Amino acid sequence: MVFSSILFLLIFLPIFLVVYTLSPKSFKNWWILIASIAFYAWGAPTFVFVVLLSTIIDFYLVQTMHQAKEKRKKRLLLVLSICINLGLLAYFKYANFFIENVNAALEGVGFDAITWTKVVLPIGISFYTFQTLTYSIDVYRGVHLPLKRLHNYLLYIMSFPQMIAGPIVRFNSVADQITNRKETIDDKLFGFYRFCIGLAKKVFIANVLGALATDILKVPINELSTPNAWIGMLAYTFQIYFDFSGYSDMAIGLGKMIGFKFPENFDNPYNSRSITEFWRRWHITLGDWMKNYLYIPLGGNKVKSHYRLYLNLWLVFLLSGLWHGDSWNFILWGLFHGFFLILDRLFLGNVLKRIGKIPSTLITFFIVVIGWTLFAIEDIDHCFQYLGKMFSFESMNVREIKLEYQVTAIVALIVSFAGLSKIGLRIQNALYSETENIWLHLPRTSIAILVFVLACSSIAASDFNPFIYFRF
């Protein structure tokens, strides 16, 4: 079940909100947990029991770790917690990838392949793992006390607004909200409005451009022209942004409706003037997690050797790529971004600063689009052939683009790059600003209701409603 499905919008969400609103305060967390388990079980009915069992085990492990007086015992229990959670991720997400590559190597030297029953990838496993890790590590570091009640920990891990695709919520940032949070009518109205902004991004922009990208990416390489290859990849570039940022808006809005304040996940990433800046604006919670739980423990910026610093950057982004999927194209995508982060520190960052805002933004956007090509096409040979078509200029034929695609592409461009101008940034800030003014709530809520109805109609009339990050 995803947020942009009719089942969620017209059945699950209304029932959830009505029961939550009518419930006494003592039952509200229980209801979120019950709804979250049902939400997850709908998409992964078998794996939900694995999640529940491992989460319960982890809760008591961390409780024991916190109560332990010996540092050695604390460290041992932390390692055990990390190994359990990473072990689940490794098995469910990477076992198939590992066996496939081992079999390829064995067959290459004349041995028989290993017989293997493929493991089904559970939804949201990567986000689940990062949330469990931040809990055990934050408690170990003394950043925050552990939760006292098991059902509150299950709620933190399994809360349906952000479990499937984030934002990745660090434990210390939300712990106090689980046990004691304020709910106001202003927050509920703004939450619904924010949810509908995300729904509009997803349905009216991401889905439309996604259909165009899908059509072009299916074209045989020998029939693909250079302009069409660029059109397809630009469509995908905007699809993945509006798809994922739209989902994050919906998650933040849902959280707001029930009193939670989730962290922002995007900040006009295509306005970036360098790849370093891009990663401060794109999937912010992932970057924050990688920085605090991987990059800084490796030494961060304090390492004495420049070579060690560059190696750490590359390692972090290699793992970031691997986190996104069990395929070599994701690893290449991570290494690609790591390479440009190193170039930024060597010389490219200074060059981009000197040439001005617009040229540096265009160059960075170009690099990002090339990166998305690596991300979008899992077959490595096909990926490089596609990249070759983008730069071959052998055929300059341009396919006829439907008016719907053209208009949507123009809207995507305007919204994506509005932050480059002061007026555009001011409009964006006004659209996303919270308020207690009833005269501002009225038009916002009216627009949100209209968007909600139109989005439901669009979803019901179409059989194309993918969500790219759903499988991560």
Rounded Cα distance between 172 and 174, Å, is: 6
The DSSP call for residue 10 is: I
Q: Residue range 194-201: average pLDDT?
A: 96
- Contact in structure between 186 and 435 (CB atoms under 8 Å): yes
Residues 215 and 238 in one domain: yes
Residues 235 and 371 in one domain: yes
User: Would you say residue 317 lies in a domain?
Assistant: no
pLDDT tens-place string over residues 60-95? 999 999 999 888 999 999 999 999 999 888 888 888
Give phi and psi for 131, each to the nearest 5: -70, -40
Q: Residue range 440-468: average pLDDT?
A: 89
User: Would you say residue 406 lies in a domain?
Assistant: yes
Mark which of 180, 205, 237 sits at the end of a domain. 180
Residues 244 and 126 in one domain: no
Among residues 283, 324, 337, 441, the one annotated as catalytic is 324
Residues 32 and 165 in one domain: yes
Q: Whole-number mean pLDDT of the chain?
A: 90
pLDDT of 113 > 80? The answer is: no
Of the ranges 109-113, 160-164, 441-445, the best mean pLDDT one: 441-445
User: Would you say residue 348 lies in a domain?
Assistant: no
User: Would you say residue 221 lies in a domain?
Assistant: yes
User: Would you say residue 347 lies in a domain?
Assistant: no
Q: Residue range 294-320: average pLDDT?
A: 86
Residues 163 and 103 in one domain: yes
CA-CA-CA-CA torsion sign (16, 18, 19, 25): positive
Residues 151 and 59 in one domain: yes
User: Would you say residue 227 lies in a domain?
Assistant: yes
- Residue 472's pLDDT band, with cuts at 50, 70 and 90, is low
Rounded Cα distance between 258 and 278, Å, is: 31
Cα dist. 248→254, 365, 447 in Å?
Answer: 10, 22, 20
Residue 405 has a pLDDT of 93
Residues 83 and 201 in one domain: no
Give the pair of three-digit tokens for residue 282: 């794109």
pLDDT of 116 > 70? The answer is: no
3-state secondary structure of 27: helix
Q: Residue range 253-258: average pLDDT?
A: 95
Lowest-confidence segment of 93-102, 212-221, 400-409, 456-465 by average pLDDT: 93-102
Residues 112 and 141 in one domain: yes
- Contact in structure between 238 and 205 (CB atoms under 8 Å): yes
Give the pair of three-digit tokens for residue 424: 């555009």
- Residue 471's pLDDT band, with cuts at 50, 70 and 90, is low
- Total domains, the chain: 2
Residue 251 has a pLDDT of 94
User: Would you say residue 50 lies in a domain?
Assistant: yes
Residue 191 has a pLDDT of 95
**List of residues 6+ apart from 405 with CB closer than 8 A:** 208, 209, 211, 212, 235
Rounded Cα distance between 132 and 367, Å, is: 33
- Residue 38's pLDDT band, with cuts at 50, 70 and 90, is very high
pTM of the model as a whole: 0.92
Q: Residue range 383-397: average pLDDT?
A: 90
Q: How many CB atoms lie within 10 A of CB 69?
A: 6
Q: Is residue 222 packed enough to be buried (19+ CB in 10 Å), middle (13-18) or exposed (0-12)?
A: exposed
pLDDT of 288 > 70? The answer is: yes
- Residue 96's pLDDT band, with cuts at 50, 70 and 90, is confident
Q: Answer yes or no: 441 catalytic.
A: no
- Contact in structure between 28 and 177 (CB atoms under 8 Å): no
Residues 108 and 210 in one domain: no
Mark which of 180, 204, 236 sits at the end of a domain. 180
Q: Residue range 403-423: average pLDDT?
A: 94
Residue 401 has a pLDDT of 87
DSSP alpha helix (H) spans, 345-421: 349-354, 357-376, 380-392, 403-417
pLDDT of 239 > 90? The answer is: yes
Of the ranges 93-107, 143-157, 196-210, 315-329, the best mean pLDDT one: 196-210
Mark which of 153, 180, 207 sits at the end of a domain. 180
User: Would you say residue 456 lies in a domain?
Assistant: yes
Rounded Cα distance between 215 and 217, Å, is: 6
Q: Residue 391's domain spans which residues?
A: 186-273+356-471
Of the ranges 31-45, 262-276, 286-300, the best mean pLDDT one: 262-276
Residues 174 and 214 in one domain: no
Residue 448 has a pLDDT of 95
Residues 223 and 200 in one domain: yes
CA-CA-CA-CA torsion sign (283, 286, 288, 294): negative
Residues 145 and 209 in one domain: no
